[in-house]
Structure 1
Amino acid sequence: MLSALYSLITGIGVGLLFAALKFPIPAPNHINGVLGILGIFLGYWIIGYFRKG
C-alpha cells in the first residue's frame, strides 16, 4: 500500500513539473485513454488470477 502512495506522489510531482515547464502531459489526457489503460491492467490481472487457480 505504501508503494501505491509513493507512486501517486511521484505522479503528482511529475504532473506539476510538466505543467510548470509547459510540456504536454505524459499520459492520456482524456478519460477514454485512462479507462483504456485501466482495462489493460484489469485484463492482465484477470488472466493472472485464472492461471493461478
Structure 2
Amino acid sequence: MDEFLSLCKDPFLALVAGLIVGILFSAIKLPIPAPPALPGVLGIVGIYLGGLIWKSLSS
C-alpha cells in the first residue's frame, strides 16, 4: 500500500495544483493555460512519452 501511495502522490498533487490554477484563471476570466481539446492534451502526453522512450533507448 505504501508503494501505491508513493506512486500516486505526485500525480495527485499535480491534479490538485491544476484544479486550483483552473479555478483561479476562470475566476479572473483569463483563458485556461491548457490545450482546449483532447488532441492537444494527447500531444503533451506524446511529448512526455517520447522523452521517456528516448531516455530508455539512450541508456
The alignment status of 1:23 with 2:30, answered yes or no, reads yes
Extract unaligned runs of 5+ from structure 2: 1-6
Unaligned runs of 5+ in 1: none
TM-score where L is the length of structure 1: 0.86
Distance 1:41 1:28 in 2: 15
**Root-mean-square deviation over aligned CA pairs:** 1.0
How many pairs align? 52
Give % identity.
44
With normalisation by structure 2, the TM-score equals 0.78
Alpha-carbon separation, structure 1, partners of 2:56 and 2:16: 28
